[in-house]
Amino acid sequence: MAKGMTDLRRRGRGQGRGPTPRRVGLACGSVLALLRPDAACAQSLNLAEGRYVASTNPESEAKIALDAAAIKETDNLDTKKDIYQNGQNSQYQDPQQGQINRSLASLSLKSKDIMMKDDWYNIFRYSFEYIGDKKENEAKGNFDDEPIEQYGNTIVMDLFDLNEEDIETEAALVMNVWMTVVHHLQEAEQKCKASTGGNSLDGETDLDVAAAYYVGWGQVEGDNDSGHLLYNLAENAGARFGKDEGETAANKNVLDLMNQIKTEIITKGTCPNDHLKFRSLVRQIVSQMTVPLVQNLIHYMSERKTDKLELYALALTPQISSCDTAGYDFLLDKLVLNTYDPSSFADVIERLQGLYSCLGITCADVGAYQTDEVAQCNDAQVNGKTELAGYDLAGSYTDDVKKAALFDRDLLRMKNLMSVDALRGAKDVYDHGFNSPGGSLSQLSIGSLSTMKDDAWYNVYRYAFGYIGTNGEGETAGEFDDKPVAQYADTVVNDLFELNREGIETEAASVMNVWMASVHHLQEAAKACKGGKVVDVGGQLDLAAAYWIGSNQREGDNANGRSLYHLTENAAARFGRDGAGAPNDVARANSQILSLLDKIQSETAGAGAWTCPNDYPAFRAATNEIVAQMTVPLVQNLIHYLAGNKGEKLELYSLAVAPQIASCDGAAFDYLLDKLVLNAFKPAELDEVVGRIQGLYSCLGITCEDVGAYSSEFGNVPQCDDNAVNKQTDLAGYALTSSVGKAAYYDRDLLRMKNLMSMDALEASKDVYKHGFNVPDSLASLSLASLDKMKDDDYYNIYRWSFNHIGVNKEGEDQGFFDDRPIEEYANTVVEDLYDLNKEGIETEAAMVMNVWMSVVNHLEEAGRQCKSGGTDNAVVHLDEAAA
Task: Express each pLDDT in 87-129 by its tens digit.
Answer: 999 998 888 888 889 999 999 999 999 999 999 999 999 999 9
Is the model more confident about 685 or about 584? 685
Beta bridge partner(s), residue 245 = 247
Look at residue 607 in the predicted model and tell me its pLDDT. Answer: 73
Q: What is the 3-class SS of 36-62, one letter each residue?
A: CCCCCCCCCCEECCCCEECCCCCHHHH
pLDDT in tens, 337-387: 999 999 999 999 999 999 999 999 999 999 999 888 999 999 999 998 899
Average pLDDT over residues 548-565: 93
Better pLDDT: 165 or 389: 389
Mean pLDDT of the chain: 91
Is the per-residue pLDDT at 692 higher than 60? yes
Q: Quote the pLDDT of residue 18.
A: 29
The 10s digit of each residue's pLDDT in 14-39 is: 333 222 223 333 334 444 334 333 33
At residue 538, the 3 state secondary structure works out as helix
Higher pLDDT pick, 438 / 748: 748
pLDDT of residue 200: 59
Q: How confident is the model at residue 581 (pLDDT cuts 50, 70, 90)?
A: low
pLDDT digits (tens, 9 = 90+) for 816-853: 999 999 999 999 999 999 998 887 789 999 999 999 99
Give the pLDDT confidence of 162-175 residue by residue, as tens digits: 877 889 999 999 99
230: CB partners within 8 A, 6+ apart: 173, 174, 177, 178, 181, 213, 214, 215, 216, 289, 292
Q: Higher-confidence residue: 32 or 461?
A: 461
pLDDT of residue 583: 65
Q: Are 402 and 249 in contact (CB under 8 A)?
A: no
pLDDT at 831: 96
Strands (E), 76-151: 90-94, 98-102, 142-143, 146-147
Has residue 58 got a pLDDT over 50? yes
Q: Residue 233 in contact with residue 173, Cβ under 8 Å?
A: yes
Q: What is the DSSP string of 436-502?
A: STT--HHHHHHTHHHHHTT-HHHHHHHHHHHHIIIIIS-PPTTEETTEEGGGHHHHHHHHHHHHT-T
Q: What is the largest CA-CA distance in the chain?
A: 119
pLDDT value at position 12? 31
Instruction: Look at residue 39 in the predicted model and tell me its pLDDT.
Output: 35
The percentage of the chain sitting over the pLDDT mark of 70, rounded to a whole number, equals 94
Q: What H or E segment, with its residue span, contains residue 606?
A: none
User: Is residue 712 classed as helix, strand or coil in its secondary structure?
Assistant: strand
Phi, psi of 479 (to 5 degrees): -125, 150
Average pLDDT over residues 719-724: 94
Who has greater pLDDT, 362 or 605? Answer: 362
- Residue 559 banded pLDDT, cuts 50, 70, 90: confident
At residue 582 the predicted structure's pLDDT band, cuts being 50, 70 and 90, is low
In this predicted structure, the answer to whether residue 213 has a pLDDT above a threshold of 80 is yes
pLDDT at residue 536 greater than cutoff 90: yes
* Confidence category of residue 489, pLDDT binned at 50, 70, 90: very high
pLDDT at 618 over 90: yes
Q: What is the model's pLDDT at position 162? A: 83
Q: Is the pLDDT of residue 233 over 80?
A: yes
The whole-model pTM stands at 0.92
Share of the chain above pLDDT 90, in %: 81
Buried b (16+ CB within 10 A) or exposed e, 219-231: bbbbbbebbbbbb
Q: Is the pLDDT reported for residue 568 higher than 80?
A: yes
pLDDT band at 308 (very low <50, low <70, confident <90, very high): very high
Query: What amino acid occupies position 549?
Result: I
DSSP-derived letter for residue 175 is I
Judge whether residue 454 has pLDDT over 80. Answer: yes
Name 788's Cβ contacts closer than 8 Å, sequence gap at least 6.
none
Give start and end residues of each alpha helix (H) in 500-555.
504-508, 515-530, 537-549
Distance separating the N- and C-terminal Cα atoms of the chain: 70
